[in-house]
């Protein structure tokens, strides 16, 4: 989930699989997504799919499900997982956020964790909107802050999240997005996994957190930043 991965996170399929199990183990993101937009039978594209985490979770309730990835190692693993899942409606394809391999209006929902709240993301937003049908919805999974994970991230990342989510003046609202906050967690009940993941992701901050008294989870707040494509008038 790029929303809380530091910029130096390895494109390592095994790491992504472990993070997929540890982050949001209760699948609250999926429940919140269903409240933002009905999913049953819809066509969805997951941009920056990594190893195909969300396509695997969503395929049983949705129509055609695309996972789009640019990293060759992650792409290979996502394709392997798609075959093993025996879900014929999953398609894993190569592409980048600004050059999506789908026609105009191909899907009902675009899901991505790769759009940051900065003007440099506007071309990726325009490309996502291009492949959405009228009435479709772009949903960005992004960091909201105000949680335990904030102490582990770089201060500028936390500051950007706080600024971007301000009422009326934040970047998301200025660019036509609504915000749904998801209260979830990072599962640390497996101490071996916690000792591997937190220092690898967050360096000394992760080590220091584990050395002190701590709960078996990190409180995590993510935002579903969503924007509808207008219907023709």
pLDDT at 8 exceeding the cut of 60: no
Is 100 contained in some domain?
Answer: yes
The whole-number pLDDT of residue 7 equals 56
Long-range contacts at 192-197 (CB < 8 A, ≥ 24 apart)? 193/18, 193/22, 196/18, 197/15, 197/18, 197/19, 197/22
Residues with Cβ within 8 Å of residue 24, at least 6 apart in sequence: 1, 182, 184, 185, 220, 222
Spatial contact of 226 and 195, defined as CB atoms under 8 Å apart: no
Average pLDDT over residues 42-50: 96
Q: What is the CATH number of the domain that holds 42?
A: 3.40.50.150
Average pLDDT over residues 164-178: 95
Q: Which domain holds residue 103?
A: 37-142
Beta strands of 103-205 (E only): which ranges? 107-112, 132-143, 178-187
Taking the C-alpha atoms of residue 76 and residue 200, their distance in angstroms, rounded to an integer, is 23
Is 173 contained in some domain?
Answer: no
Look over the chain and give the mean of its residue pLDDT values, rounded to a whole number.
Answer: 93
Is 113 contained in some domain?
Answer: yes
pLDDT at 56 exceeding the cut of 70: yes
The whole-number pLDDT of residue 61 equals 87
Number of domains in the chain: 1
Taking the C-alpha atoms of residue 233 and residue 231, their distance in angstroms, rounded to an integer, is 6
Average pLDDT over residues 41-45: 96
pLDDT category at 171 given cuts 50, 70, 90 is very high
The whole-number pLDDT of residue 3 equals 57
Taking the C-alpha atoms of residue 189 and residue 118, their distance in angstroms, rounded to an integer, is 35
Is 195 contained in some domain?
Answer: no
| Residue 118 main-chain phi, psi, to 5 deg | -150, 155
Is 93 contained in some domain?
Answer: yes
Which of 124, 192, 158 minimizes the C-alpha distance to 4? 158
Is 138 contained in some domain?
Answer: yes
pLDDT tens profile 184-208: 999 999 999 999 889 988 999 999 9
pLDDT at 2 exceeding the cut of 70: no
Is 180 contained in some domain?
Answer: no
Which of 22, 111, 25 minimizes the C-alpha distance to 69? 111
pLDDT tens profile 21-42: 999 999 999 999 999 999 999 9
pLDDT category at 220 given cuts 50, 70, 90 is very high
Is 45 contained in some domain?
Answer: yes
Both tokens of 44, joined, read 């969805």
The whole-number pLDDT of residue 179 equals 97
Average pLDDT over residues 35-52: 95
Could you tell me what percent of the chain has a pLDDT over 70?
96
Both tokens of 215, joined, read 């709960």
Taking the C-alpha atoms of residue 2 and residue 60, their distance in angstroms, rounded to an integer, is 24
Instruction: State whether the Cα torsion 169-125-6-141 is positive or negative.
Output: positive
pLDDT category at 4 given cuts 50, 70, 90 is low
Average pLDDT over residues 153-169: 92
pLDDT at 233 exceeding the cut of 90: no
The whole-number pLDDT of residue 232 equals 78
Which of 180, 146, 182, 176 minimizes the C-alpha distance to 163? 146
């Amino acid at each position: 989930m790029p929303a809380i991965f530091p910029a130096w996170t390895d494109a390592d399929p095994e790491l992504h699989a472990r993070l997929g199990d540890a982050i949001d183990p209760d699948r609250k993101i999926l429940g919140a997504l269903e409240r933002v937009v009905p999913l049953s039978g819809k066509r969805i594209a997951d941009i920056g799919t990594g190893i195909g985490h969300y396509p695997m979770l969503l395929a049983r309730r949705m129509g055609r499900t695309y996972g789009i990835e640019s990293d060759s190692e992650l792409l290979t693993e996502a394709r392997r997982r798609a075959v093993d899942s025996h879900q014929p409606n999953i398609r894993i394809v190569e592409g980048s956020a600004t050059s999506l391999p789908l026609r105009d209006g191909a899907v009902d929902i675009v899901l991505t964790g790769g759009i940051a709240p900065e003007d440099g993301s506007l071309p990726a937003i325009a490309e996502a909107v291009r492949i959405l049908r009228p009435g479709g919805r772009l949903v960005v999974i992004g960091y909201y802050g105000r949680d335990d994970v904030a102490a582990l991230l770089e201060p500028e990342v936390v500051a950007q999240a706080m600024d971007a989510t301000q009422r009326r003046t934040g970047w998301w609202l200025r660019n036509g997005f609504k915000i749904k906050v998801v209260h979830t967690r990072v599962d640390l009940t497996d101490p071996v996994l916690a000792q591997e993941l937190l220092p690898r992701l967050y360096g000394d901050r992760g080590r220091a957190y584990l050395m002190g008294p701590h709960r078996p989870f990190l409180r995590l707040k993510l935002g579903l930043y969503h924007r509808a494509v207008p219907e023709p008038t």
